[in-house]
Amino acid sequence: MTIHRGSCHCGKVAFEVEGEIGEVTACNCSICSRRGSLLWFMPRAKLRLLTLEQDLGTYLFNKHAIRHRFCAQCGIHSFGEGTDPKENRVAAVNARCLDGIELSALAVKNFNGRAI
């Protein structure tokens, strides 16, 4: 199993993800369109923080269903946390924060989040 390492820009937030990166999602909702993240969805258990929880900021809006996490120092959004319809904990990692990923080679699925 591949371990991907990721971080924010300044390095204060670091994490590891276990798994093979497949399709990533580009969403056009109000927040995703602004930050331009490419989201890799996975069970939350596959995401391991290598940093202190206190170094992460949390942004909530709308129904507060998703915890948008970002570095409190450099502001980069590295992942979000939430639950799926079956109440399983999921994470959406910003593939742009992963080390050694050829972004142009990723299969991108466009999601019409604006319509939700």
What is the binding site for Zn ion (CB under 5 A)?
8, 10, 12, 71, 73-74
Nearer to Zn ion, 15 or 90 (CB): 15
Minimum separation from the CB atom of position 11 to Zn ion (A): 6
Minimum separation from the CB atom of position 82 to Zn ion (A): 22
Nearer to Zn ion, 6 or 32 (CB): 6
Minimum separation from the CB atom of position 10 to Zn ion (A): 3
Is the CA virtual torsion 8, 10, 14, 20 positive or negative? positive
Q: Do 69 and 79 touch, CB atoms closer than 8 A? A: yes
Minimum separation from the CB atom of position 2 to Zn ion (A): 24
Q: How far apart are CA 15 and CA 84, in angstroms?
A: 22
**CA-based end-to-end distance of the chain:** 35
Nearer to Zn ion, 55 or 111 (CB): 55
Query: Hey, what are 36's tokens?
Result: 């331009």
Nearer to Zn ion, 25 or 51 (CB): 51
SS3 per residue for 28-42: CCCCHHHHCCCEEEE
